[in-house]
Amino acid sequence: MPNNQSQNYIGRFAPSPTGPVHFGTLIAAVGSYLQAKKNNGVWLLRIEDVDITRKIEGADVDILNTLEAFGFEWQGDIVYQSERSEYYQQALDQLITQSLVFPCICSRKQLAESNSDVYPGTCRDRKLPEKNQHALRLQAKDISIKFNDTVMGAQSQNIKQQCGDFIIRRRDNLFAYQLAVVVDDALQNITEIVRGADLLDSTARQIYLQQLLHYPTPDYCHLPLAIDATGNKISKSEGAVKIDINNKEKSLISALNFLGQQAPAELVKSNINDIWKWAIDNWDIGQVPKTKSSQI
């Protein structure tokens, strides 16, 4: 569990540049920021543009401008995943050395026919040559990964049975998010990862990778996901409404309330600096609802 007295807390916010900041992004930014501030820690920014096919031109600048307008303060240089292939390749090489990586030629259609979210292992023993146009999967061992999420509590997932061998380099040669995020969190010495609960299910795979790569495992803290009235995730790539920076006080208070922080009614009359001051002084991770999603 995080230690509130620690001077060594390193948190991060890692948006994908797939669109402008919307309410869901703001929740993850505010939660990770306040958790870092409360722990006297630093807050790093990483632009997760490893999947260049989903990247929207200019979205990174738009995200940074919005964060700046809200008064978020980050430390150090902003890391761009698109510039870090050499680190991901080194990690991949380490996994290959352990004989845990195999090429996979299964098509999406074939996998859909298997009627399961768990990879059926089709290519595992095929001994295909490691050609570039193949996806690369990591063998999942029959082990249970357990962790105690700061908000969601005790979690356990059997990698082989509940997830199966998973892709770490895609057929188009791009490194998969699961590998990139683990390498970056380790190289940036992140001590606690605060992010949306849509990634709760990815965490066991990430801890599995950390174990294989001999990286430390940070604490994990998943925040409820903002969903709309139809139950869909409010997401950049789904064209969610952009946060209005002319009304940032109201948006910040809504984000605090979404995170269970019960901002006093008179705070709406305050300026953004005073709202941040109240938020930092009163941030209580214990108040964050322990639900995977919540409607806004």
Binding site for ligand GLU (CB under 6 A): 14-16, 48, 181, 195, 199
Please report which helix (H) or strand (E) contains residue 295, including its range: strand 293-295
104 CB-contact burial (10 Å; exposed 0-12 / middle 13-18 / buried 19+) = buried
Query: Nearer Cβ to ligand GLU, position 122 or 178?
Result: 178
Report the nearest approach of ligand GLU to the CB of residue 193 (Å): 6
> Could you tell me which of 279, 160, 149 has the C-alpha nearest to residue 217?
149
CA-based radius of gyration for the chain = 20
Report the nearest approach of ligand GLU to the CB of residue 270 (Å): 29
Give φ, ψ of 245 to 5 degrees: -75, -10
* DSSP per-residue codes, 64-89: HHHHHHHT----SPPEEGGG-HHHHH
Report the nearest approach of ligand GLU to the CB of residue 144 (Å): 22
Report the nearest approach of ligand GLU to the CB of residue 17 (Å): 9
Q: Cα(268)–Cα(292) distance, rounded to whole angstroms?
A: 27
Query: Nearer Cβ to ligand GLU, position 24 or 164?
Result: 24
Query: Nearer Cβ to ligand GLU, position 46 or 248?
Result: 46
Query: Nearer Cβ to ligand GLU, position 16 or 104?
Result: 16
